[in-house]
Amino acid sequence: MDRAQSDALWGRLRTRFGAARHERMQALGHDRIEERREGSWVFDEQGKRYLDCDGSGGIFNLGRRPAEIVAEAKRALRETDQGNFPMVSWEKAELARRLADFTPSGLECTVFSVMRGEALDFACKLARGSTGRTQLLTVDGGWYGETGFALTLSDRPDRERFGPLIPDVGTIAFHDVSAACDAVTTRTAAVVVEVVQAENNARMLPEGMLEALRRRCDRVGALLVVDETQTGFGRTGRRFACEHASVVPDVLVLGEALGAGVFPIAATVFTQKVNAFLNSHPLIHLSTFGGSDLGCRVGLAALTVYERERPWVNAARAGSTIRQRLSEVVSQHGRAVSVRGKGLLLSLDLETAQRADRFCRVLSEHGVLASPGMVARRSVVLRPSLLIGDEEIETLEQAVEAALISNAASKV
Amino acid sequence: MRGTQSAGGVVPSDGDRITGEQKAAIEETFGRHVNRGQVRYLKAGHLDVLESRRQGIRFVDPVTGRQMIDCFTSAGCFNVGRHNPVVVAALEEALDSLDMGSAALTSTHQVALADKLAEIAPGDLSRVLFAAGGGDAVDGAIKLARAATGRTGIVSTVKAYHGHTGFALSANGKPHYRHYFEPLMPAFSFVPFNDLEAMRQVVGDHTAAILVEPVQGEAGIFPGERAYLEVLRSLCDERGALLVFDEVQTGFGRTGKMFACEHVGVVPDIMTVAKALGGGLFPNAAILYRDVEPMRSFVESNPNFHRSMVGGSDVGCRVSLRVIEYIEQEDLCGNAARMGGKLRAALEQLMGENPKIIRAVRGIGMMVGIEYIHEFLGPMMSDALAKRGVFAAYSGNAPQVMRFMLPITANTEEVDEVIAAIRGAIADMRRLLPLALPAAKLPFGLRLLNDERVQTSLFGAFRKVEDMFGGKER
């Protein structure tokens, strides 16, 4: 694509999506037209290569266009389509069965969605419906998505512009385990948490908090909902992040990593006990695109790859290598920048949003695609493919070093 | 994935040939890992059929080998037909080089679809925001309306259907879908559809938006009257509210025009589209809006107010673009108007002949509904139609209403086939009514007949009686 063509495309983009979208992309060095994509990498209209550490919020755990999954998508395409959504199909039944095997023991039932926010909204509805209670609690600093319930639970400064939002939703203090537990009572339908707050500088739940919440929920009959949209499918070095604490939630929210970036599909997985509510109220929550037969076939292929490749093993290893090497690099460049995270969900704290934006821009110049956190705008999140090797780690290290030098040289 | 599934799987060796035993295993697995109640519910309504060989307006029940004409089309997703080869080819080609794409970047595919949507959209709807599905699009539309106007009130309509995510559900006009999940968002109000006076009374300077389906779909197919939609437009203009049309079900030719609001020439400020945009293959959705204040300023200062990681995906945009081109090239809008008109005329004639069975026939284009006199006729008709090779679903919580939303590719012979099947099924009902009606007149009889749990066992008995009467004809 030549310069005139790309300029024309940016002009059209500004007309359709607004100039501000383009300007925001420029500020982050994301004003690139995506063309080829393969494995850990994407290529822009100039043929320049980038290590994809944005991953659309953690969709591409198996890299871009994993061959086996693309091949199965094509095979399935010759045989089927999305299907009529209320009907039974072997594809839905089989993927739900396989998810019961794949997720922590006791989680046996699935409702499919097309996207993460929808899966989270459904989890909240399920909690209210099955407990007959209305209160939903979360901790501060979370980010669950853009749809109604998800937005209400998210720590987002402009949230109330869209309100009034869902009533009877409360936020409990993140750091105080005992205060958090006290807040959960017999009128609580569910506590909704992320184990690692990806968009909030990879903040991890305090030690012992998930276990304490589990016990408290059991005591008062509330449900524990864990959103693993970004941490699931191996991202933190275990299959699911809740396994680090050996806690099994009542409801597990899975994001689009289920479709491996090939097909949009997400899921809410929960216990038989919770499903009693849906069994007596079938089709009370519908999703036209959720549980598409084609999508289920892609999800089945993805699960096969996840089970065989066990990418969480590499995520743990590569993640600790990167954290160590980045920490070393950081220590050599004046200004203090913290490196946090677990597995291949990493975050750098740049102190201000302005610095975080510029950091992303310099990373992009040096061939790494990354975005600031949605909650902690001063942070930069790194979530590459879980299958990365030495070449990717090298690229990342060099780009981060260049960005650190630029950051240290800058007054603001 | 074939051959690699773990023990206990229900992957058929040939999805086109499934035995009754295999079907039972699939249902058992679905019941255990998805929803047992749903399996029971579908069985009660005689909708417990699997779909194989999806092609054109039909699929084949892989157990019986019976061809079924799809009159439900996933509530209006299969406008271009099941497994349309042209759209399949576009998806296959897209899969050769693309994936969903980086949400952080853009692509020629995304911009091309945005341009195409703006080109076919009514009036000056020229701005685009992609979403993952209909509910997500409605959530985004309500967020846009509230934040842009700085107001809170959303006026929706009784029986409206907008989806199941938080904002969309709050705007849902059917208590059935809301009840167990309340309290939902405050400042949503509901007025009867097509009732101008009721609308005038609630829309005020606190109103951010009026949200309506130009044709109420799930409610039972009620087209918005011209005067009604026109006045909604002027009411919004007078009172500084935004007009939002939910065209998720009515869009892309379903009603005989590309969008239903074109029938009356009313352009909304915001319009949501989904379903058929994905060609029945790959999910995609969008919010279209006018490049005017107060939306312009809000979006320019909040470009990422409703981000989607999977809406407007590269693969999805390639597919959607091909879907729209196909609808245009084949004049599917014109076909929907002609074939839908033919279907409706035939059903109106049937209504005249069967006043004790059909209460009303409504519709526009290939979005046609029958309202039966009794609720229990919905499931009975589903069954009678299925036996005659027509798959038609009744509305979940209004079982007396049945929607006929064939692929808009249907030709004259295919529509004739559907009409003949409906005629035959109505004849079956005429034979069954003398049995059902006395039962309905007993104390509590009608309530029992209308109870889905009672129907499960009762319809089994009805079916046997029906076979005794009708068996010789088939």
CATH architecture of A312-412: Alpha-Beta Complex (3.90)
| Residue of chain B whose alpha carbon sits nearest to that of A78 | B88
A227 touches chain B (CB under 8 A): no
Neighboring chain A residues of B320 at a CB cutoff of 8 Å: none
Shortest CA distance from A32: residue in chain B:
B105
What tens digit of pLDDT does each residue of A131-151 get?
A: 999 999 999 999 999 999 999
Residue A351 has pLDDT above 80, yes or no: yes
Q: Over pLDDT 90: what percentage of chain A?
A: 94
Of B107, B115, B280, the CB nearest to A82: B280
Arithmetic mean of pLDDT over chain B: 92
Chain B residues touching residue A253 (CB < 8 angstroms): none
Domains of chain A, residue spans: 67-309, 312-412
Residue A201's φ and ψ, nearest 5 degrees, are: 55, 40
CA dihedral for A269, A270, A272, A278, sign (positive or negative): negative
Residue B10 to residue A168, Cβ atoms within 8 A: no
* A301 close contact with B: CB closer than 8 A: yes
Answer whether A324 touches B (CB < 8 Å). no
Amino acid at position B379, single letter: P
- Whether the per-residue pLDDT at B396 is higher than 80: the answer is no
Burial B388-424 (b: 16+ CB within 10 A, else e): bbbbbbbbbebbbbbbbbbbbbbeeebbebbbebbbb
Size of interface A-B (CB pairs under 8 A): 365
Q: Which of B293, B243, B160, B143 lies closest to A164, judged by CA?
A: B143
Chain A: residue whose CA lies nearest to B182: A134
Burial B171-205 (b: 16+ CB within 10 A, else e): bbbbeebbebbeebbebbbbbebbebebbeeebee
Split at pLDDT 50, 70, 90, the class of B446 is low
- Residue B120 at interface with chain A, using a CB cutoff of 8 Å: no
Contact A162/B147, CB-based, under 8 Å?
Answer: yes
| pLDDT tens by residue, B323-341 | 999 999 999 999 999 999 9
Give the separation between CA B390 and CA A264, rounded to whole angstroms: 31
Q: Which residue of A88, A143, A281 to mutate against B (max B Cβ within 10 Å)?
A: A88
**pLDDT at position B457 over 60:** no
- Phi first, then psi: what are they for A295, rounded to 5°? -60, -40
Q: Within a 10 A sphere around the Cβ of B241, how many other Cβ atoms?
A: 25
Using left for φ > 0, alpha for ψ between -120 and 50, and beta otherwise, residue A289 falls in alpha
The answer on pLDDT for B3 being more than 70 is no
The per-residue pLDDT for B464 is: 57
B382 touches chain A (CB under 8 A): no
Query: Mean of the pLDDT values across residues B197-209?
Result: 97
Lowest mean pLDDT among A378-387, A398-407, B363-372, B457-466: B457-466
B35/A168 touch (CB, cutoff 8 Å), yes or no: no
Sequence-ordered strand ranges (E) for B312-418: 358-364, 367-372, 390-391, 394-395, 398-404
**Best CA proximity match to B122, nearest among B273, B281, B234:** B273
CATH 3.90.1150.10 range(s) for chain B read 20-76+332-473
Using the Cβ of B9 and the Cβ atoms of chain A, whether some distance falls under 8 Å is answered with: yes
Sheet order of strands, B52-55 included: B52-55, B58-60, B67-70, B390-391
Question: Partners of B82 in the beta sheet?
Answer: B56
* pLDDT band for position A175 (cuts 50, 70, 90): confident
| B53 interfacial to chain A (CB closer than 8 Å) | no
Q: What is the CATH number of domain B20-76+332-473?
A: 3.90.1150.10
Contacts of B318 in chain A (CB under 8 A): none
Q: Cβ of B458 under 8 Å from any chain A Cβ?
A: no
Q: What is the 3-state secondary structure (H, E, C) of chain A?
A: CCHHHHHHHHHHHHHHHCHHHHHHHHHCCCCCEEEEEEECEEEECCCCEEEECCHHHHCCCCCECCHHHHHHHHHHHHHCCCCCCCCCCHHHHHHHHHHHHHCCCCCCEEEEECCHHHHHHHHHHHHHHHHCCCEEEEECCCCCCCCHHHHHHCCCCCHHHHCCCCCCEEEECCCCHHHHHHHCCCCEEEEEECCEECCCCCEECCCCHHHHHHHHHHHHCCEEEEECCCCCCCCCCCCCHHHHHCCCCCEEEECHHHHCCCCCCEEEEECHHHHHHHHHCCCCCCCCCCCCHHHHHHHHHHHHHHHHHCHHHHHHHHHHHHHHHHHHHHHCCCCCCEEEEECCEEEEECCCHHHHHHHHHHHHHCCEECEECCCCCCEEEECCCCCCCHHHHHHHHHHHHHHHHHHHHCCC
Give the gap in angstroms from C-alpha B36 to the nearest C-alpha of chain A.
6
Stated as kind and residue range, the H or E segment containing B104 is none
Q: How would you classify the pairing of strands A368-369 and A49-52?
A: parallel
- Partner residue facing B100 (CB), from A20, A59, A293: A59
Q: Do B164 and A371 touch (CB under 8 A)?
A: no
Best of B86, B125, B128, B164 to substitute, by most chain A Cβ atoms within 10 angstroms, is B164
Q: Considering only CB atoms, which chain A residues are within 8 Å of B82?
A: 81
Q: What is the mean pLDDT of the segment spanning B141-168?
A: 98
Positive or negative: CA dihedral B378, B379, B380, B384: positive
Does residue B456 register a pLDDT over 90?
no
Reported as a pLDDT band with limits 50, 70 and 90, residue B452 is low
DSSP class of residue B56 equals: B
Q: Count CA within 13 A, CB hemisphere, residue B69.
A: 24
Is B85-329 in CATH node 3.40.640.10? yes
Q: Using 50, 70 and 90 to split pLDDT, how confident is the model at B81? A: very high
DSSP character for B372? E
**Any CB–CB contact under 8 A between B153 and chain A?**
no
Looking at the complex, report in whole angstroms how far the Cα of residue A263 sits from the nearest Cα belonging to chain B: 7
B9/chain A closest Cα distance in angstroms: 6
Q: Residue A263 and residue B10: Cβ atoms within 8 Å?
A: no
What confidence tier does B465 reach under pLDDT thresholds 50, 70, 90? low
Contact A274/B at CB under 8 A: no
Alpha carbon distance, N-terminus to C-terminus of chain B: 40
Percent of chain B at pLDDT exceeding 90? 84
Question: Dihedral through CA A270, CA A276, CA A279, CA A283, nearest 10?
Answer: -60
Contacts of B275 in chain A (CB under 8 A): 288
Lowest mean pLDDT among B239-248, B372-381, B451-460: B451-460
| CA atoms of A204 and A330, how far apart (whole Å) | 21
The residue type found at B164 is: H
Q: Which residues of A touch B140 (CB under 8 A)?
A: 146
Measured in whole angstroms, the distance separating CA B327 from the mean position of its chain's CA atoms is 18
- Tell me the one-letter amino acid at B451: D
Q: Confidence band (pLDDT; 50, 70, 90) for B96? A: very high
Chain A CB contacts of B74 under 8 Å are 82-85, 288
Q: Quick count: other Cβ atoms within 10 Å of Cβ B20? A: 9
Most confident of A179-183, A272-276, B13-17: A272-276
Using an 8 Å Cβ cutoff, are B256 and B264 in contact? no
Give the three-class secondary structure for B10: coil
What are the chain B neighbours of A166 within 8 Å (beta carbons)?
166, 170, 183-185
Shortest distance, CA A389 to any CA of chain B (angstroms): 21
- Average pLDDT over chain A reads 96
Contact B113, B313 (CB under 8 A): no
What is the spatial distance between Cα A229 and Cα A123, in angstroms, rounded to a whole number?
12
Q: Average pLDDT in the A92-98 region?
A: 98
pLDDT range class, residue B1, cuts 50, 70, 90 = very low
What is the side-by-side strand order in the sheet with B367-372?
Answer: B358-364, B367-372, B398-404, B394-395
Q: How close B69 gets to chain A, by Cα (Å)? A: 12
Q: Which of A33, A56, A293 sits opposite B103 (nearest CB)?
A: A56
* A164 reaches B (C-beta below 8 A): yes
pLDDT at A334: 72
Domain A67-309 CATH assignment equals 3.40.640.10: yes
pLDDT, mean of residues A194-218? 96
All CATH 3.40.640.10 domain ranges of chain B, comma separated, are: 85-329
Q: Could you tell me which of B59, B90, B89, B91 has the C-alpha nearest to residue B74?
A: B59
Compute CA A410 distance to the chain's CA centroid, rounded to the nearest angstrom: 31
What's the pTM?
0.96
